[in-house]
Amino acid sequence: MSQVNRLAQGGRIDRSQPLTFSFNGQTYQGYAGDTLAAALLANGVDVVGRSFKYSRPRGIVAAGAEEPNAVLQIGSTEAAQIPNVRATQQALYANLTATSTNGWPSVNTDLMGILGKVGGGMMPPGFYYKTFMYPQNLWLTYEKYIRKAAGLGRSPKENDPDIYDYMNQHCDVLVVGAGPAGLAAALAAGRSGARVILADEQEEFGGSLLSTREMLDDKPAADWAAKAIAELQKMPEVTLLPRATVNGYHDHNFLTIHQRLTDHLGDVAPMGQPRQRMHRVRAGRVVLATGAHERPLVYANNDVPGNMLADAVSTYVRRYGVAPGQKLVLSTNNDYAYRVVLDWLDAGRQVVAVADARSNPRGSWVEEARRRGVRVLTGSAVVEARGSKRVTGARICAIDLVSHKVTSPGEVLDCDLIVSSGGYSPVVHLASHLGGRPIWREDILAFVPGEGFQKRHCAGAVNGVFGLGDALADGFEAGAKAAAEVGFKAVTGSLPKAEKRIEEASVALFQVPHDKGTSRAPKQFVDQQNDVTAAGIELATREGFESVEHVKRYTALGFGTDQGKLGNINGLAIAAKSLGISIAEMGTTCSARTTPR
């Protein structure tokens, strides 16, 4: 099989090392440095699974921990089976064997899908409980069949051949996340002589620096990341933990880190090596630089494969050399999303149009896109995606944000990839573990960490500092402050210069209006993993579930393994709107675990 979507050059992959892997029995090829998701996209695999409730075909949406759909079963032997691995977080290794976790007889032709299509409108939240209520003693019989239709992966039937260990550690400063803010914080703390642990979830340190088109000191940002990592490696008191998820923030700055030592090497760990390790860390100070996840927009049929996050597409193009389509349409409400347009043009692909919800965007990236001949439709948004197993078109209409109405019949544009960006949601989970409720900030349309009892600092995008240069400075300051608080003499240092740009504020847009009204329009998915639609959330509020906790439980919003990383804020916004209150009044809930695995 050829890699139809692989770009001729670019990316941080090693093209001299092709790797063969299989997905649902088909053999494909990727390169060392790919994630499983990148390799699947490179091979033009659109459908990776079927949705939970309606069995709709689903494709890869994101590029990181927030992925809701590409949740796969991995393992070539019975003992090596691992259920529910996010393809976006699994490094590709030779002979990796992956299968979809649902879909019968296969993901491409699924019989349940017909039921979902026909009966979709008749399956509101609580459908099973409302329908199979009587006679009560038959519920156990019903449940058996309902359970069969749902469910994700399966656990292995044989014993795990691998060993797992744990380690107790102490440090002065623990830095969570090795993106721009995290690296800067680690540098500041490390240079002061403090004992530092830097933990990052991804295969490589650098976070967004590895895929951004922005320059630092007129060189690619990834160069600065490499320099910073090299400096950190030379410091004797600094421990670097890649592939390590900080999954718990406990009392008195006790944190647990789950490190995947050999998951990227194969099904079974090499002889004598542990597969995973739990670090139990007591930290003097903690710097949380956990970054932010991009938030998709909620429009009709936004779950058809070929609907992706803007940021994710940039990552696939620039980090993995994969362009998951040919003709792109962007729907956005902010400046940052325009990066994907420029990246897509650089990759030699076609940008059909940009629908910007703002009436007069004039930011630097917007102007650059216009200069390069991109058609920018202002005051509009993608209202509906066309296609069933792959996007075939996008309907763009003018919308009125205040009355939440579609104001023009719009036009249908031919495309095979719709990317959307509704702004960024800071990853506030760890900051909320010990109290410290997130605070809604209307100026950036996001929840940021509230005051906590812990001795911690938040830095970078998690704080709502989204600009690259500002995030670096914020991180450096937090790192220096943390080191100073535990008794090390803070050092000063110069940071690389980021580009100067004009940036414009985004406008609040979560659910895109549809001319038919939410309950009559094609499904607008909020939480793709649990098939929660905007109509479902409105129904919940109509039926009297007013607290965010109740709405969540009634609709199952944010209950999947992705813990609502993409959907929760959109769901909150929709519930708040239909109740006529503000998002701040609605409040949020927080998952205990950042990345369940």
Partner 1 sequence: MLHIFCPHCGELRSEEEFHVGGQAHIARPLDPNACTDEEWGEYLFFRDNPRGIHHELWIHAAGCRQYFNVTRHTVSYEILETYKIGERPSVTEAIVAAKKAADQGVTA
Whole-angstrom Cα distance, residue 286 to residue 574? 34
Shorter beta-carbon distance to partner 1: residue 284 or 558: 284
Phi, psi (rounded to 5 degrees) for 74: -125, 150
Shorter beta-carbon distance to partner 1: residue 251 or 443: 251
Shorter beta-carbon distance to partner 1: residue 172 or 267: 172
Whole-angstrom Cα distance, residue 313 to residue 392? 17
Interhelix angle 568-579/534-542, nearest 10 degrees:
40
* Structure tokens that stand for 546 in this block: 């007013």
CB of 454 to partner 1, least distance (A): 9
CB of 285 to partner 1, least distance (A): 13
CB of 248 to partner 1, least distance (A): 10
Whole-angstrom Cα distance, residue 193 to residue 97? 45
Shorter beta-carbon distance to partner 1: residue 28 or 249: 249
Phi, psi (rounded to 5 degrees) for 293: -105, 140
Cα distances from 496 to residues 196, 288, 453, 462, in angstroms, run 22, 21, 33, 21
Whole-angstrom Cα distance, residue 225 to residue 468? 12
Please provide the size of the chain in residues: 597
496 DSSP assignment:
P
Whole-angstrom Cα distance, residue 435 to residue 38? 37
Query: Closest Cα to residue 400, out of 459, 346, 358?
Result: 358
CB of 398 to partner 1, least distance (A): 51
CB of 252 to partner 1, least distance (A): 4
The string of DSSP codes covering 178-198 is -SHHHHHHHHHHHHTT--EEE
Q: How far apart are the first and last CA of the chain?
A: 31
CB of 453 to partner 1, least distance (A): 4
Shorter beta-carbon distance to partner 1: residue 142 or 453: 453
Shorter beta-carbon distance to partner 1: residue 185 or 283: 283
CB of 437 to partner 1, least distance (A): 14
Shorter beta-carbon distance to partner 1: residue 249 or 476: 249
Shorter beta-carbon distance to partner 1: residue 249 or 525: 249
Shorter beta-carbon distance to partner 1: residue 154 or 252: 252
Whole-angstrom Cα distance, residue 310 to residue 297? 10
Interface residues with partner 1 (CB under 8 A) are 250-254, 282, 434-435, 453
What burial class does residue 16 get, using C-beta atoms within 10 Å of its C-beta: 0-12 exposed, 13-18 middle, 19+ buried?
Answer: exposed
Report the run of H or E that residue 140 belongs to, with start and end. helix 139-149
330 DSSP assignment:
E
Shorter beta-carbon distance to partner 1: residue 142 or 254: 254
CB of 338 to partner 1, least distance (A): 44
CB of 500 to partner 1, least distance (A): 42
Nearest-5° Cα angle at 145, 144 to 150: 100
CB of 173 to partner 1, least distance (A): 16
Under DSSP, is residue 574 helix (H, G, I), strand (E, B) or coil?
A: helix
Cα distances from 75 to residues 435, 482, 552, in angstroms, run 39, 42, 33
